[in-house]
Amino acid sequence: MSLLFWLSLALVFYTYAGYPLQLWLMTRLRPQPVLRGSDTPEVVMIVVGFNEAHRIIAKVQTCLNQDYPADKLRVLIVSDGSTDRTADVVRALNDPRVEVLECPARRGKAACLNDGVAHTTAPLIVFTDARQRLNPQAVSQLVANFADPSIGAVSGELVFEQADGSPFADGIGAYWLYEKFIRNSEARTGSVVGVTGALYALRRECFAPIPAETILDDVAIPMQAAMKGWRVSFEGGALAYDLPSTDAAKEKIRKVRTLAGNFQLVSLYPALLSPWHNPLWGRFMAHKMLRVLCPLALLLAFVSHSVLAFEAPGFFRATWALHLGGYLLMVLAMLVPALQRFKILRLAVTFAHLNIFVVLGFISFVTQKQSHLWGSSTVANSPHGQNPTGK
């Protein structure tokens, strides 16, 4: 029991503190800078959406307003079986730089991405979701990274704008800052595991079609590139702006789907779990897989601690009272939101929700086979489209 207790605690500690610390040390000891350039090759921006008529014009405009040569930039809108006027609204712009690919039936984002890439010939592809606006330098900053011949994909940065100041929104915002630190550190020492779904770029030659049922295209696509030997970078100057979720109910919709996608990912690509096939195996396990094991580790730590508290009085009994008291205080803060004005409780509640969502994500993966199909309500409640905070 003692061994189980310490191993469980060690797994949780390494996942959330040890791995970030390891990356921080690597940025000091073994940095791997990216060679940047100023070339402006042809770029196509692909936006996939379902029933986006209400905001697709704003998205097209933020794409066309990029500080990038107009004759080198194209926008492709892929309508995933939309039943509103998404395609008609885009066509009405009558802009030669903008094209619509209309899919008659809903098949999900992954299938539409496959079609969109096959429909274009540009050497560089920028994927971005319909929801977020972009800073004018987003494309040029992403493209600059491809001057380095080792770079196959580049992630942009998701920036949360001012929300309503709710405790949950503040907690999610803090978690996203933590996640961005990890991604930036991964990029500075090699490759990022996954990219920001709201904005990322890819060499055409790195793209391989993904299964139509894929939920996390923004992990599957760059990880396929990484498994072929390409490097995946992170560009802090390419920004997509959004608002954080303001309550647990909205965040739950997005996060459960994302975590179900993590379980699905390894079922679709089992080679990701092999250190002989995945050159980012250590990072993939630490950044993705250990996080989905943390709820089990937390449970085992508490159960083993409880047994030890009665079998081995002294240290374990004294610390068990603190262990139990911490959980009770966290539950109380979840039931009484006013307590979340204290930062430590706000972060504890966010941590609790994220681990609860892991369990719900696993249940969703097992029971729901159509989770790759989105609805307008799902997208509207998602703070960063397909794949946000940190999986």
> In this predicted model, what pLDDT tens digit does every residue of 49-108 receive, in sequence order?
999 999 999 999 999 999 999 999 999 999 999 999 999 999 999 999 999 999 989 999
CB atoms within 10 A of CB 257: 24
Residue appearing with tokens 């892991």: 358
What is the share, in percent, of the chain residues with pLDDT greater than 90? 74
Answer left, alpha or beta for residue 140, where phi above 0 means left and psi between -120 and 50 means alpha.
Answer: alpha
The residue among 233, 244, 239, 222 whose CA lies nearest residue 163 is 244
Q: Over the chain, what is the mean pLDDT?
A: 89
Rounded Cα distance, 86 and 91, in Å: 9
Say yes or no to pLDDT of 23 above 80: yes
And the tokens for 111?
């299938």
Q: How far apart are CA 370 and CA 312, in angstroms?
A: 49
What per-residue confidence (pLDDT) applies to 378? 40
Q: Using 50, 70 and 90 to split pLDDT, how confident is the model at 373?
A: low
pLDDT recorded at residue 372? 55
The candidate with the shortest Cα–Cα distance to 34, out of 156, 165, 190, is 190
| CATH code of the domain containing 61 | 3.90.550.10
pLDDT of 251 > 90? The answer is no
Assessment of whether the complete model's pTM goes beyond 0.95 = no
Rounded to a whole number of angstroms, the CA Rg of the chain reads 22
Provide the domain count of the chain. 1
Q: Look at the chain and count its residues.
A: 391
Classify strands 43-49 and 151-160 as parallel, antiparallel or unpaired.
unpaired
Strand partners, 133: 241
Confirm if 124 and 99 have CB atoms less than 8 A apart: no
For helices 290-311 and 315-335, angle between their N-to-C axes, nearest 10 degrees = 130
Model confidence at 383: pLDDT above 60: no
pLDDT value for 1 = 87
Give 124's pLDDT tier (boundaries 50, 70, 90): very high
Has residue 246 got a pLDDT over 80?
no
Q: How many Å apart are CA 72 and CA 66, to the nearest integer?
A: 11
Q: Given a cut of 50, is residue 388 above it in pLDDT?
A: no
Q: Is 225 helix (H, G, I), strand (E, B) or coil?
A: helix
pLDDT of residue 177: 85
What domain range is 48 assigned to?
1-391
Q: Is the pLDDT of residue 317 over 80?
A: yes
